[in-house]
């Protein structure tokens, strides 16, 4: 049950990857907020140039956002390849070599057989080359503790798939792909955060905790179990909310409801054809000029309702955790509630500023942080309920670990339930 | 001598016949109701290159309302008239990109008629990217591989010809997301775009009874339809589009 000591530099590198991913989501948010997704119409080339050689003098208008997004995404891809190699240890060299070789060969075949897809072939060859390079790195480091290598591989495949989705969104002109691309970005960010969390010294200490500082009251057991479930359900609800948000943003129709807290002056706006015609006749937009539809109005109303539900649920979690438990659970729950309050404010500001690009992008970023916090809290509460509830200390200890003494408790705890009072 | 006289007579008669067989429909489109205020195009004004090409404020032009509430940029067309597509020799219509704006923003062409998209912007604006959004199946399939076409500064004009009628096909620039134009493709030669005072003239309409429709992208995208009886002396058709 004891966890090996974490590698401090691995943790820092994982944090760097998560931060780079968050920045990538922010740049992606700017792309959508500025309606710049199609400003570079080809992919993986940029106006016929190799992406990395596209002259900065041509980074004008929306190209600035879209091209920066592509370059930053490439950097995140490299970070993830390196992270996968680091997490997987020397055992990852062989699979990396196989994947890299397959990608290089596939790229060369495309390059040779499909002349009009030369850019795609070149792109695939380039990615494969980077993967091969990672495989050739000779460090014979040990693999990180499970499930970190597996999570590394998951992010490895997702980041490549995500890059492909971004490219297909451009060349196929499909907004639906944009919605999926945005949603997968959020999930990918959560994964990088979880890797950073699990590679931390704090996670290791939670796996090797101090003896119980106080005995849990039997009356708290159902309360903790309920809290676990609500945290998990709320995190799922936040993911659903982010999907709704991505769907709204990729309609390119601006705000379907422009007032807040009411909607067209009512608690629930009319969505009959005459009302929609009226709304459209009175909308004046500069960039998001597609006419709105009844579906879009209803979508924003659902988004508002889900926002209220999330606010209530996270508020309840924070209050419950703060009142009944101490330790990380209480602290992170309160932080989570702060994020949700901030997010609700940004949501209202997005409407009141007529979807100002910086405000709307901040709304996307805080949404990503809210999801990642919920996911981290869910996993901590599920995996280390005693530590989460502050019943055992996670402070660094000198000397031998007390893990053996706690084995029974943790075995029960890892199943998601609190041990009975001893 | 006799031959010449006969020829002149024939030419004169044919000219007269043409005159009597072609009349104009004139009229005015007015707006009922108060339109929303136009807004400044801030992204254009804030753009480091495009913003410098305008000295004052640049606003949207969704509702061009002139004298006596005449509504500019409305499309007026005859409906249900059987006509062949425009000949290849028909004069093209020009849609220009100037000052990082489409000029004009509302255009009407006939099926088969060439639409020429120019880029008159200086080299300080390295490129525009003409992105069309056809909805009619035939237009979509004709341009499926040319939906988005970059047009560098000083590059050749882009030509478009559409075979299916379609109202308000959106043209946009993907580099400058505030740039829009709407092109209406009509399946007969009898159409016009109203001027800033809402006035229009549809020329050379053969006498007869027709359905005539006036559309506006915002006030009435589906249009208001009425009957018009075109005599040898022409006809008048006035419309009132209501902003609800």
Q: What is the pLDDT along chain A (422 residues), one digit of tens a residue?
A: 455 566 899 999 999 999 999 999 999 999 999 999 999 988 888 998 988 999 999 999 999 999 999 999 999 999 999 999 999 999 999 999 999 999 999 999 998 898 877 778 888 898 999 999 999 988 888 899 989 999 999 999 999 999 989 988 888 888 889 999 999 999 999 999 999 999 999 898 887 766 655 555 555 556 788 899 999 999 999 999 999 999 999 988 779 999 999 999 999 999 999 999 999 999 999 988 889 999 999 999 999 999 999 999 999 999 998 888 877 888 999 999 999 999 999 999 999 999 999 999 999 999 999 999 999 999 998 888 777 666 666 665 554 444 333 333 333 344 344 433 32
Asked whether residue B203 is assigned to any structural domain, the reply reads yes
Closest approach of B109 to chain A, Cα-based (Å): 22
- B114 part of contact set with chain A, CB < 8 Å: no
Which DSSP letter does residue A51 get?
A: G
Cβ–Cβ of A62/B177 closer than 8 Å?
yes
Q: Which H or E element spans position B18?
A: helix B2-20
pLDDT bin (cut points 50, 70, 90) of residue B214 is very high
pLDDT at A407: 36
Q: Which residues contact B170 (CB under 8 A, 6 or more apart)?
A: A289, B132, B133, B180, B181, B182
| Burial zone of B78 (CB within 10 Å; 0-12 exposed, 13-18 middle, 19+ buried) | buried
Task: Name which of B51, B175, B242, B243 to mutate to probe chain A: the one with the most chain A Cβ atoms within 10 A of its Cβ.
Answer: B175
Closest approach of B86 to chain A, Cα-based (Å): 30
| Global confidence as pTM | 0.86
Task: For residue B136, count other CB atoms closer than 10 A to its CB.
Answer: 17
CATH number, domain with residue B182: 2.60.40.420
- How far apart, in whole angstroms, are the C-alpha atoms of residue B96 and residue B105? 9
Reply yes or no on whether the pLDDT at B13 is more than 50.
Answer: no
DSSP string covering B145-166, please?
T-SEEEEETTPPPEEEE--S-E
| Burial zone of A121 (CB within 10 Å; 0-12 exposed, 13-18 middle, 19+ buried) | buried
Asked whether residue B9 is assigned to any structural domain, the reply reads no
Q: Which H or E element spans position A196?
A: helix A175-198
A40 three-state secondary structure: coil
pLDDT at B99: 96
Distances (CA, A) of A125 to A65, A109, A172: 25, 10, 22
Cβ–Cβ of B41/A47 closer than 8 Å?
no
Please work out, in degrees rounded to the nearest 5, the angle formed at the alpha carbon of residue B14 by the alpha carbons of B13 and B16.
Answer: 65
Asked whether residue B18 is assigned to any structural domain, the reply reads no
Chain B partners of A34 at a C-beta cutoff of 8 Å?
Answer: 43, 177
- B135 part of contact set with chain A, CB < 8 Å: no
Among chain A residues, CA nearest to B178: A287
- How far apart, in whole angstroms, are the C-alpha atoms of residue A212 and residue B90? 89
Alpha carbons within 13 A on the beta-carbon side of B154: 4
Reply yes or no on whether the pLDDT at B18 is more than 90.
Answer: no
Task: Name which of A30, A47, A60, A61 to mutate to probe chain B: the one with the most chain B Cβ atoms within 10 A of its Cβ.
Answer: A61
Closest approach of A307 to chain B, Cα-based (Å): 30
Chain A partners of B129 at a C-beta cutoff of 8 Å?
Answer: 38-39, 41
Instruction: Judge if the upstream peptide bond of residue A365 is cis by omega within 30 degrees of 0.
Output: no
Chain A partners of B47 at a C-beta cutoff of 8 Å?
Answer: 61
A290 three-state secondary structure: coil
Segment 75-104 of chain B within 8 Å of chain A by CB: none
Cβ–Cβ of B174/A36 closer than 8 Å?
yes
CB burial of A23-43 (b: ≥16 within 10 Å; e: otherwise) equals: ebbbbbbbbbbbbbbbbbbbb
Cβ–Cβ of B47/A289 closer than 8 Å?
no
- B155 part of contact set with chain A, CB < 8 Å: no
Cβ–Cβ of A287/B244 closer than 8 Å?
no
Distances (CA, A) of B192 to A212, B73, B213: 84, 9, 11
pLDDT bin (cut points 50, 70, 90) of residue B221 is very high
Counting the structural domains of chain B, the total is 1
Segment 63-102 of chain A within 8 Å of chain B by CB: 63
Among chain A residues, CA nearest to B43: A286
B3 three-state secondary structure: helix
Task: Name which of B177, B178, B221, B241 to mutate to probe chain A: the one with the most chain A Cβ atoms within 10 A of its Cβ.
Answer: B177
Segment 253-282 of chain A within 8 Å of chain B by CB: 274, 277-278, 280-282
Nearest in space to B28 (alpha carbons), one of B60, B56, B68: B68
Cβ–Cβ of B39/A284 closer than 8 Å?
yes
Asked whether residue B47 is assigned to any structural domain, the reply reads yes
Closest in B36, B50, B180 to A289, CB measured: B180
**Strand boundaries in A259-313, DSSP class E:** none
Chain B partners of A57 at a C-beta cutoff of 8 Å?
Answer: 126
- How far apart, in whole angstroms, are the C-alpha atoms of residue A198 and residue A145? 9
Nearest in space to A35 (alpha carbons), one of B100, B51, B175: B175
- B122 part of contact set with chain A, CB < 8 Å: no
Asked whether residue B10 is assigned to any structural domain, the reply reads no
In this structure, of A192-196, A225-229, B85-89, B183-187, the range with the lowest mean pLDDT score is B85-89
Chain B partners of A275 at a C-beta cutoff of 8 Å?
Answer: none
CB A235 within 8 A of CB A339: no
- How far apart, in whole angstroms, are the C-alpha atoms of residue B111 and residue B83? 10
ipTM exceeding 0.95?
no
Task: Name which of A286, A354, A358 to mutate to probe chain B: the one with the most chain B Cβ atoms within 10 A of its Cβ.
Answer: A286
Asked whether residue B42 is assigned to any structural domain, the reply reads yes
What stretches of A89-144 show up as alpha helix (H) in DSSP? 93-113, 118-136
In this structure, of A93-102, A245-254, B21-30, B107-116, the range with the lowest mean pLDDT score is A245-254
Nearest in space to A257 (alpha carbons), one of A308, A304, A306: A304
Asked whether residue B60 is assigned to any structural domain, the reply reads yes
Cβ–Cβ of B244/A277 closer than 8 Å?
yes
- A53 part of contact set with chain B, CB < 8 Å: no
pLDDT bin (cut points 50, 70, 90) of residue B43 is very high
Closest approach of B229 to chain A, Cα-based (Å): 31
Rg, C-alpha atoms of chain A: 24
Rg, C-alpha atoms of chain B: 21
Nearest in space to B106 (alpha carbons), one of B226, B2, B196, B11: B196
Q: Which domain holds residue B232?
A: 24-242
Asked whether residue B16 is assigned to any structural domain, the reply reads no
Q: For chain A, which residues make up each domain, given as ranges?
A: 8-199, 210-414
Closest in A38, A277, A285 to B174, CB measured: A38
């Amino acid at each position: 049950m004891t966890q090996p000591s974490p590698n401090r530099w691995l943790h820092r590198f994982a944090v760097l990857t998560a931060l780079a991913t968050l920045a990538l989501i922010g740049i992606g948010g700017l792309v959508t907020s500025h309606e710049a997704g199609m400003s570079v119409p080809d992919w993986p080339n940029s106006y016929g140039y190799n992406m990395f050689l596209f002259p900065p003098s041509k980074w004008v208008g929306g190209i600035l956002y879209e091209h920066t997004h592509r370059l930053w995404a490439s950097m995140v891809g490299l970070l993830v390849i390196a992270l996968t190699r680091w997490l997987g240890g020397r055992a990852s060299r062989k699979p990396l070599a196989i994947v890299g070789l397959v990608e290089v060969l596939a790229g060369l075949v495309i390059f040779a057989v499909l002349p009009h897809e030369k850019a795609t072939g070149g792109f695939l060859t380039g990615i494969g080359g980077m993967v091969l390079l990672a495989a050739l790195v000779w460090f014979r480091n040990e693999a990180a503790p499970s499930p970190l290598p597996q999570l590394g591989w998951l992010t490895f495949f997702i980041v490549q798939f995500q890059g492909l989705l971004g490219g297909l969104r451009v060349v196929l002109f499909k907004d639906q792909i944009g919605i999926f691309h945005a949603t997968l970005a959020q999930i990918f960010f959560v994964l990088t955060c979880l890797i950073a969390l699990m590679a931390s010294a704090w996670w290791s200490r939670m796996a090797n905790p101090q003896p119980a500082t106080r005995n849990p009251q039997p009356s708290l057991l159902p309360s903790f179990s309920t809290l676990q479930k609500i945290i998990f359900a709320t995190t799922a609800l936040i993911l659903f909310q982010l999907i709704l948000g991505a769907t709204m943003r990729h309609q390119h129709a601006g705000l379907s409801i422009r007032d807040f807290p009411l909607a067209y002056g009512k608690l629930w706006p009319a969505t009959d054809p005459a009302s929609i015609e009226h709304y459209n006749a009175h909308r004046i937009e500069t960039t998001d000029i597609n006419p709105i539809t009844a579906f879009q109005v209803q979508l924003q109303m659902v988004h508002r309702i889900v926002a209220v539900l999330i606010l209530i649920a996270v508020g309840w979690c924070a209050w419950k955790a703060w009142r009944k438990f101490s330790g990380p659970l209480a602290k992170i729950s309160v932080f989570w509630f702060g994020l949700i309050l901030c997010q609700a404010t940004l949501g209202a500001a997005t409407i009141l500023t007529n979807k100002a690009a910086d405000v709307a992008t901040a709304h996307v970023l805080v949404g990503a942080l809210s999801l990642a916090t919920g996911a981290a809290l869910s996993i901590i509460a599920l995996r280390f309920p005693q530590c989460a509830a502050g019943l055992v200390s996670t402070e660094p200890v000198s000397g031998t670990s007390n893990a053996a003494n706690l084995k029974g408790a943790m075995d029960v705890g890892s199943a998601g339930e609190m041990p009975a009072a001893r | 001598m006799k031959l010449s006289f006969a020829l002149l007579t024939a030419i004169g008669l044919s000219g007269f016949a043409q005159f009597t067989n072609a009349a104009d429909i004139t009229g005015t489109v007015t707006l009922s109701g108060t339109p929303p205020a136009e807004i400044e195009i801030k992204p254009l004004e804030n753009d480091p290159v495009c913003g410098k090409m305008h000295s004052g404020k640049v606003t949207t032009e969704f509702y061009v309302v002139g004298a006596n509430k005449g509504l500019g940029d409305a499309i007026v067309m005859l409906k249900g008239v059987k006509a062949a597509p425009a000949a290849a020799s028909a004069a093209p219509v020009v849609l220009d990109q100037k000052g990082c704006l489409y000029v004009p923003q509302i255009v009407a062409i006939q099926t088969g008629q060439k639409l020429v998209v120019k880029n008159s912007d200086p080299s300080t604006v390295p490129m525009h990217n003409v992105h069309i959004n056809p909805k009619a199946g035939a237009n979509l399939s004709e341009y499926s591989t040319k939906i988005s076409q970059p047009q560098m500064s000083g590059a050749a004009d882009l030509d478009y010809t559409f075979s299916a009628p379609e109202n308000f096909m959106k043209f946009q620039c993907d580099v400058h997301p505030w740039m829009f134009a709407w092109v209406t493709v009509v399946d007969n030669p009898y159409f016009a775009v109203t001027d800033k005072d809402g006035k229009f003239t549809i020329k050379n309409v053969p006498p007869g009874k027709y359905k005539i429709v006036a559309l506006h992208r915002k006030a009435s995208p589906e249009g208001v339809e009425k009957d018009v009886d075109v005599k040898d002396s022409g006809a008048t058709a006035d419309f009132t589009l209501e902003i609800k």
